[in-house]
Structure 1
């Protein structure tokens, strides 16, 4: 089930298309694989394999982006396994499939793109403020890698630290919603 292969100058998709490493990161970040997280994880693995040998293949921001994507994909997949999914009406008159996050008392519908944005706006902003613009990317990548437990047998999964950090983020969001008078009538995109 290898959807992508590292070709040295990019990633070859199973249909034979060559995707540059930069375009692969853009496709992940833009949500092209948000409905196919496993396939996206294979793409990310091909890109990360290249980074292991040649870290300067991507910009610091792109390296952060790929690891952020992997962390979020692992969290969403874990929550789908644990809590399932729910159909949620969208603003276009259609239905989206949302993942359910539950802390045992309250639940939220969650989506990959808003979670990536939340990590970018919260964790990564703190990293820039803490270590400065010159070092934030390397430190952030280390944090994201620390959020994962990666094995050849199982692929990437959340580490206990990663799970705890992402649950804290969601529990804080639930507390904020409850403090503002409760949950809105319509499911909230997070």
Structure 2
């Protein structure tokens, strides 16, 4: 794909993300997106032949990072390191894909009727992997016996709220947008909350060797 084509597609997706997040899928037209992007409407249809396809492209900009975010949980044996990386990555997604995250949240709340089946399956498998890993850490004595489902839901809620409820958070903090320092503080606090609250322990070499 040429650099110009990718740049144009990225612009359209970015603008569409904001339009869908602000006005909703039904109320947003391709003409609205073209106007907001300051490009001719035929150009939008050139890259995305329908609003449905553009909507799916918007969803993919956040679902793919979300799917990749759990890699530390899957690959690392040390729960402290894995959870720290996972929480930080989830917050980064909320910061960098805030509009698309709100579109995804709206899609989920409406029953995920448009979310491609392949992505739904991947998200489900990811959830099962995380739950199984949490359960394994509990059995290894590396975590207190907390409900693995609810721990996962809590991490989701605590991290994704920074995108899905960004207006409310900004209003309370009296800031139009949060700074990198704010996100760093949030990551440190949430990590501490989860690790200390769930009694998560660091895996040491003797645990692996034994």
Check whether TM > 0.5.
no
- Could you say which structure has the higher helix fraction? 2
Larger radius of gyration: 2
Tell me: higher relative CO, structure 1 or 2? Use CA pairs within 8 A at least 6 residues apart.
2
TM-score by length of 2: 0.27
- Could you say which structure has the higher strand fraction? 1
